[in-house]
Structure 1
């Protein structure tokens, strides 16, 4: 009987959202709900597993950790991209790495939850209502007639743009590889430069893949180009924005606020300033966390295991 562990099952949802019984005669499956940050404690907990199912980048798996897991033979990640896994090191150790599909719809919806929450001051208004504070303490920002700047016009960015147009916003977009043809197909204006987009936008939302060219793409010079009444929303990856510069921008009110679903360290440390800044709407990386996405992830994880057991792995990462 092989052993499979599901890591970082925060909501204890994994076992309920797929038919793991299909594996019961060949694989013993268990989930771990708590995040284990300490490397030695993690190795002790998972060392006997031959199969690991991981959720996004919640638990990094660099070469130095993989070499301490000699029994590991199959590694499955949600999504078809995971920068926290050293795939080359896994391959060198004979570990098969597979992924699952992921829908762009949930992060699109969450992006708009953050934009609307910021524009209408929903966290603060809800807090004062619950605590008996002033009835109506803020004046919301209209979105109709304002400019939405999208940094990255891929599957998610294109869907975000469609909603922006439905709200009556002017929508502009920029990315290092954006072409006029793609912008036209999405029904948006192509900004002449990153700087032009930042200067023109009332809301800037990021939808790029993290890589060498996008890490630190928005630093202090870029944030200072934004309007003082503008909001920045990041549901992509935290290092695309220089985090020290962002904290300063929020503390010194270079911008009106930020909606953040991603952080350099997750779970976010208890003393991190982003937890308490009044102009930050922060969420614990919920962009992809929906029943539909989870059902896809874990159902396809079962399929990945079955295919691997049959000697015909599917959805392999390279």
Structure 2
């Protein structure tokens, strides 16, 4: 049995996954991201089992058609918008997941980005290394307004941390009720008020047809000139071109981003040169505890599938 593990950027899959529980398996771990259906198909030739890390690599009908040996596809997490589950089933491929991971991981990173932006951490770090001392003036969080776009499991954790910073917390999402907002320590406001009133606007919506481009030019124009935008959810929720324009024009004060339309972020993407940004390579879920759980469950999934009783099966 051949197993291919994709997108092991940090080269840690073998240290986390107990592959010795599969003594007869040939395990190949790939460290570079594969682009394009043909390149991916060549890399997966002969593989019965493929392990995908989150949504880094799309699996659509065309790739299933080009990988006839594939029988088990495992994704970290219990949902993956990059996998066409209907196409997988049509090609006889079982798709399994792992525990989704703790929301606190991304909530903590969200606050790392907020603090880095508001206190100019990256700018001051670079200046100090270049021999300069105190080049910027930070802005306080206490007494300002935190706007949470999407008050679900993750947004609620971010909102509660905002209270600890003595921030006023407001929130909006399409189906949010005043009672649910109050339970999270937030006040439900209209969508327009969320953008207009927030000093820090943080995005925590799921990516769907109705959320793609939800934060566009009009929404960014409605924000305060001193406000910052933080996105640790999914890149396409924020219109990248509109965000670059707003940052370049100085119509908002900055942005902290962990997610992008295309990942890894292409070298030519204008966000790389946009002012007042803190950019991270989609690290929200990348922690020791999460990786340990995911990779251990990957092997559990293989063992259960080989025994004829697959676990954590995803279906369309």
How high is the TM-score relative to the length of structure 1?
Answer: 0.97
What is the match of residue 146 of structure 1?
144
Per-residue CA deviations over 1:36-63 (Å, capped at 9, x if unaligned) read 1143222111111100000011111111
**Hey, what does 2:207 align to over in structure 1?**
210
Instruction: Give the Cα–Cα distance (whole angstroms) in 1 for the partners of residues 268 and 91 of structure 2.
Output: 38
Task: Note the C-alpha offset of 1:240.
Answer: 0.7
CA contact (8 A) 2:248 2:275 kept: no
Consecutive unaligned residues of structure 2, counting only runs of 5 or more, are: none
Q: In the TM superposition, what whole-angstrom CA distance separates every residue of 1:8-30 from its partner, at most 9, and x where no partner exists? A: 000011111131211123x2222
Matched, 1:24 2:23: yes
What does the per-residue CA deviation read over 1:82-124, in whole Å, with 9 as the maximum and x for residues that have no partner?
Answer: 1111111001111000111121111111100000000000111
Greater CA drift, 248-257 or 116-125? 248-257
The runs of 5 or more residues in structure 1 that have no matched partner are none
Counterpart mapping for 1:75-224 below 5 A = 75-101=73-99, 102-132=101-131, 134-191=132-189, 193-224=190-221
Give the Cα–Cα distance (whole angstroms) in 2 for the partners of residues 317 and 228 of structure 1. Answer: 44
Structure 2 Cα separation of the partners of residues 126 and 119 of structure 1: 14
Deviations 1:59-78 (A, max 9, x none): 11111111100000000101
Instruction: State the alpha-carbon separation in 2 of the partners of residues 131 and 277 from structure 1.
Output: 21
Are positions 1:297 and 2:294 aligned together? yes
Match for 2:252 among 237, 252, 255?
255
1:196 partner SS? helix
Cα pair 2:11 2:31 within 8 Å, conserved: yes
CA contact under 8 A between 2:13 and 2:295: conserved in structure 1? yes
Q: How many residues align?
A: 314
CA distance in 2, matches of 1:278, 1:122: 14
Give 3-state SS (helix, strand or coil) of 2:246's partner: helix
Structure 1: distance between partners of 2:158 and 2:14: 32
Matched, 1:270 2:267: yes
Q: Distance in 2 between matches of 1:242 and 1:38?
A: 24
Q: Deviations over 1:242-262 (max 9, x none)?
A: 111111111111211110110
Q: CA deviation at 1:278?
A: 2.4
Q: Give a deviation string over 1:233-291, Cα, whole Å, max 9, x none.
A: 00000111111111111111121111011011111111211112221111111111111
- Distance in 1, Cα, partners of 2:183 & 2:49: 42
* Aligned equivalent of 2:227: 230
Partner Cα distance (1:6, 1:179) in 2: 42
User: For 1:242 and 1:255, how far apart are their aligned partners in 2?
Assistant: 14
SS at match of 1:307: helix
Q: Is the 8 A contact 2:50 2:73 kept in 1?
A: yes
Deviant stretches of 4+, over 6 Å:
none
- Superposed CA RMSD: 1.0
How many angstroms apart in 2 are the aligned matches of 1:104 and 1:152?
13
SS at match of 1:286: coil
Question: Is 2:146–2:162's contact at 8 Å kept on the other side of the alignment?
Answer: yes
